[in-house]
Amino acid sequence: MTHETLIIFNPIANLGRAWPVASTLRRVADELGGADWSGTVYPGHASEIATKAGEQGYKRVIAMGGDGTIHEVINGLMSIPSASRPQLGIVPVGSGNDFAGTMGIPRNSEEALRKVYSGTPRMIDVASVKDDAGRVEYWMNTLGMGFDSAVNFHSREVLVFQGFMIYFLAVFRTMVENYHPFRITGTIDGEPVDQETLMFTVCNGRREGGGFLLAPDAVQDDGVLNYTLVGVIPRLAMFSAIPHFLKGTHAGLNYVKTGTFKKIEIKSNKPLWIHADGEIFAGFTSHVTELSLEVVPKAIELIL
């Protein structure tokens, strides 16, 4: 360890467009006091690097990538005892950068890096998800089941466009190929739920998919998570719903339920497609039918 700061960089973020951006930031990091750098080379690598960063005594870890990179870094940091857990900085160079947008982190990567070195730490909540096989993962922005997960999976195949347009095109493909409602039963903070569902998204951040405002009232240090549950509607009605989800006015639709919670336990009558911060938790071949979701209050010290 040469410096107190470690930058974990995902070179294939934003379809590889992050590499030239990062190359210009090395000079900026040196100017600000320096940092050690570590690039990711396989899925889950950022989690491993972040875990070792805590063991090696780094005071600050910077996630330089998209929401997926932050997701992996969060999971690495959460494996470290809170007393020795490094602070987290974010430099968004991904395609959606939804969590960075929620937290007011500049989209310009140089501005974001400078802010990490000069900003103020703030304790924020994260969340955990546990499936019926006992697998546990942490997430910090959104976790979706059903329709929005299918959108996320298809967005990976859109290679021409950037940012919001990737997800917008994936929405239309999902409408055609993946209209598969499911029934959930269980409890939300102990209250029973039994609902035929097209999409169920739980949120710590406010938006996903490059700009869909799923939880406009979400606060990242209030000790609760938000949810948006969409009932079954015709495919054609989904077209008129899109503007509401972009503007965050969907709570007024009669087929949408929203609220806050600390813990959810649900069971589905069909295998669930699940993304966590845009990362695949359970794909199209999923066998997951039960989930437990819970807030972890003030778990990460984020520099803003």
Domains of the chain: which residue ranges?
5-119, 128-297
Phi first, then psi, for residue 54 (nearest 5°) are -65, -40
CB atoms within 10 A of CB 235: 9
DSSP 37: E
CATH topology agreement for domains 5-119 and 128-297 = no
Q: In the numeric block, which tokens belong to residue 256?
A: 């949408």
Question: For the chain, what percent of residues have pLDDT higher than 90?
Answer: 76
What's the chain's average pLDDT? 92
Question: For the chain, what percent of residues have pLDDT higher than 70?
Answer: 94
Higher-confidence residue of 302 and 235: namely 302
- Mean pLDDT throughout 75-82? 97
Tell whether domain 128-297 is in CATH 2.60.200.40.
Answer: yes
Tell whether domain 5-119 is in CATH 3.50.50.60.
Answer: no
Q: Please identify which residue in the block is written with the tokens 């809170």.
A: 82
Q: Where are the beta strands (DSSP E) in the chain?
A: 5-9, 36-39, 60-65, 87-92, 121-131, 136-139, 142-146, 182-188, 191-203, 225-231, 256-261, 263-268, 274-276, 279-282, 290-303
Contact by Cβ (8 Å): 148, 173: no
The pLDDT tens digits for 39-65 are 999 999 999 999 999 999 999 999 999
185 CB contacts (<8 Å, ≥6 apart)?
A: 192, 193, 194, 266, 267
Q: What was the pLDDT predicted at 17? A: 67
The pLDDT tens digits for 79-106 are 999 999 999 999 998 877 999 999 999 9
Q: What was the pLDDT predicted at 194? A: 97
Q: What was the pLDDT predicted at 238? A: 83
296 CB contacts (<8 Å, ≥6 apart)?
A: 78, 125, 126, 127, 128, 138
Instruction: Determine the Cα–Cα distance for residues 113 and 206; give it in Å rounded to an integer.
Output: 22
Q: What was the pLDDT predicted at 159? A: 58
Buried b (16+ CB within 10 A) or exposed e, 5-19: bbbbbbeebbeeebe
- What region does 14 belong to: left with phi over 0, alpha with psi -120 to 50, or beta? left
Question: Has residue 16 got a pLDDT over 80?
Answer: no
The pLDDT tens digits for 180-189 are 999 999 999 9
- Mean pLDDT throughout 220-232? 97
- For residue 276, the SS3 value is strand
Instruction: Determine the Cα–Cα distance for residues 291 and 39; give it in Å rounded to an integer.
Output: 32
